[in-house]
Amino acid sequence: MLLESQNKNKYLYDPTVKNTQWCHPVLYHIIQLHHRGLDVDQWYGELNDDPIQIEGYGTASKPEIAYYYRKYRLLRENGFFSPPDSGHLLSGRLSPGQIKSSLANTRQATFEVVDYCNLECAYCAYGKFYNINAPRGDRKLNTGTAKTVLNYLLDLLNSPLNQSHHQVFYIGFYGGEPLLNFPFIREVVAYAHQLKPVHNHFRFNMTTNGLLLGKYMDFLVEHDFDLLISLDGDEYSNSYRVFKDGTPAYSEIIKNIDTLAAKYPSYFQTNVNFNAVIHNRNTVPGLHSYFKTRFGKIPSIGELNSSGVAAAMREEFLKTYANIGTTLFQAEDYSLIEKDMFLNLPNTRGMKSFLQQCSGFIFNDYNEVAAAGNKTEAGKPPKQTAQIPTGTCIPFSRKVFITVQGKILPCERIGQQYSLGMADEKKVDLDFEKIADTYNSYFDRLKKQCCSCANWEACLQCIFYLNMDHPQPRCSGLLNDEEFARYLSTQLSYLEKNPQTYFKVMKEVRLV
C-alpha cells in the first residue's frame, strides 16, 4: 500500500513482509505502476532515454529510473508486493480445547456482587442514555455460586493446562457498587484464603465509587485489595456522579478518600488508583492536574460508551460526550501531560497497535520472536499462521465475569445476552464445544467482511460490540483501502511531527 503523509512524504507499507518505509517519489511511481497491474519489467524494457515526468518530483532521468527500478526489483525479490491471502489467514477457528486452556490460564475472576448502586450517575451504562436489555434493580450474587466458581477455576488453574507459574490471579469485585454487599466480599475473601492454588497466588481488586470506603477500609487494607476508585475530578467535574435524589456525591467521596490516605498512606500510595470519565464538565489537563496535585496519582481516563445509545437520547448524549484526544491536544502543557499519562492514553494504545501492524518490530512474546528468527526461504516473506477473524479476544483469555444471576461472560463490558454459561451453588455449566461453535458461527458470519477489510490484520473490533443478534451483522470498524490508507497516513504524519514517540512506544509500552 502506498501512502502519503501531511508533509507530502511518501511511504510504502507492505503487510506481507510487515514493513513500512520511506519511499522516494520515483520508486513510488514505479510501485504505483505495479499496483495498477502493469508489467514493470516490460515497462522498463520499453523505456527510451527520454526523461519522464513524475508527480511531486518533476523530471526523472533514465539513470534515475534505472536506479529505482533496481531497487523495486530488490524489494520484489525479497517478498515485497506479494498480496497477503486474507482468506487463508483469517481461516482460524476456535477449538473447545483452546477455550478450556484459555480459562485455565485466565488472569482474573470478577464477580458482579450486586446490580444496584448508591449513586445514579447521569451517564451510567445502565442509565438514561442507553437501551437497556436487562433491567437492573435489587439482585445480589449468591456466595455459594462464587465459591463454586472458584472451586471450578482452581481445578483448572492447578491443572497442567495452566502455563503460568508464580502468577497473580485476581479475584475482582464489581457492581453496581460492590461494597453494598460487604458480607459477600468478606465471605469470598475468607474462602479464597483457604484455597491452595499451585501456580498462582490470589489477590483481590475492586472498582468502587468510594462512598462506603470509610466503613470498610480496614478490611480492604488488611486483605491488600487493589482499589480503583471512580471519580471524575474536582467538585464540578464530578457533578454527574450524584445520589438518587440528584445531590452531588463529591464531598462524601472525598472525605472517605482523604481518610484512607491519612490513615493508610503507604497502602494508598501502592494500592489505590483512580478512574475518571471524560465528559463536557471536565478536561484531560484538568483531570491530570487535579489527581496529580491532590493525590499524587495519574488517573486512567475513559470515554463514555457510544454504542447502544437510545435514539431519543442521542442529542443529550452528544452534549455530554467528550473525546480524550481533543481535550488533550488543546492543553497548553500537552507534552508534560503526555509524558505523565503516556501509558494511560488511548492514543498510546493506538500507536502501539499501529506500530505492531506496520513496523514488524513488535512481537507479542518470545515464541513470536523465535518464529521470526527462523530462516525463511530466500525471497519469501515469513510464514504467517491463520488467525481468527475480528479483534475479539479468545474467550476468558483475560478474565471470566460472573453476573449477579450467575451468567458467565468473558468480560464485564459485553451484553449479558452473550452469556457463555451459567453457575449456581451446585455447579458451573460451561460447554466448551458449544462456546467454540457459537464463536465460530459468529466468525463465519463476519469473515466475508473481514476479508474485504483493509485493517483485518490489526483489527481491534470485538464481535460483542456488533449486533450479533442480527442475521447479517455489520462491522462498524470495516475499512476500505482508502480509509485504511488515511488512517495509516495520519499515524505516519503524527510520527513525523513527534518522532520521539516512536522510541517511547518501542521502549516503554507493554500492553499484553
Partner 1 sequence: MSKESQNFWFILDNYVHVSVRGKSVLFYNTLTGKILEYSDCEPVSRLVKRLNSPRNLLVIGLTGKELANPEISRFVKSMRTFFMGDLIDASLTKGKPMQMAPYPNIQQDVEFIKKSPQGPIAVGDRMMKYVAEVSLFINSACNLDCGLCGSAHRQFLCCTRGKNTRTELESRSIKNLLQQLQGASLARLNILGGDIFKYSQWEQLPEILTDPALPTEKYLYSHYLNLAGQEHKLAQLPTDAFSLKIVVPFPVKKQQWEEIMNMPLLNRPGTHFLFIIAGETDIDAAEELITRYHLENHSYHPFFNGRNREFFRQAVFVDREDLEEARPTMREILARQCINPLQFGTLTILSNGDIYANVNARRLGAFAGDSIYDMVYKEMFRGSSWRRTRKKAAPCRHCTFNALCPPLSNYEYALGQNNLCHINPRT
**H helices of 380-463, where?**
432-452
Cβ of residue 227: shortest distance to partner 1, in angstroms?
14
What cell was used for 382? 515469513
Site string for partner 1, 28-57 (x = CB under 8 A): ----------------------------xx
From the list 18-26, 242-250, 286-294, 435-443, the region that binds partner 1 by CB under 8 A is 18-26
With respect to partner 1, which residue has the nearer C-beta, 116 or 170? 170
Site string for partner 1, 345-364 (x = CB under 8 A): ----------x--xxxxxxx
| CA separation for the pair 40, 80 (Å, rounded) | 14
For position 104 contacting partner 1 by CB under 8 A, the verdict is yes
For position 25 contacting partner 1 by CB under 8 A, the verdict is yes
For position 246 contacting partner 1 by CB under 8 A, the verdict is no
Selected binder of partner 1 within 311, 373, 385, 471 (CB under 8 A) = 373
What are the backbone dihedrals phi and psi of residue 466, each rounded to the nearest 5 degrees, phi first? -100, 165
Number of residues that bind partner 1 (CB under 8 A): 75
The burial class, CB within 10 Å (0-12 / 13-18 / 19+), for 414 is middle
Q: Is-contact 192 171, C-beta < 8 A?
A: yes
With respect to partner 1, which residue has the nearer C-beta, 199 or 281? 199
CA angle in degrees (0–180, nearest 5) for 136-140-146: 130
Cβ of residue 476: shortest distance to partner 1, in angstroms?
27
Secondary structure (DSSP) of 140-208: B--HHHHHHHHHHHHHHHTSTT---SSEEEEEEEESS-GGGGHHHHHHHHHHHHH---SSEEEEEEEEE
Q: Is-contact 333 285, C-beta < 8 A?
A: yes
> Which DSSP category does 465 fall into?
G
Selected binder of partner 1 within 91, 167, 405, 438 (CB under 8 A) = 167
**Is omega for the bond preceding 176 within 30 degrees of 0, making it cis?**
yes
For position 78 contacting partner 1 by CB under 8 A, the verdict is yes
Selected binder of partner 1 within 164, 300, 323, 419 (CB under 8 A) = 164
Cβ of residue 493: shortest distance to partner 1, in angstroms?
9
For position 510 contacting partner 1 by CB under 8 A, the verdict is yes
From the list 101-109, 249-257, 331-339, 418-426, the region that binds partner 1 by CB under 8 A is 101-109
For position 251 contacting partner 1 by CB under 8 A, the verdict is no
For position 22 contacting partner 1 by CB under 8 A, the verdict is yes
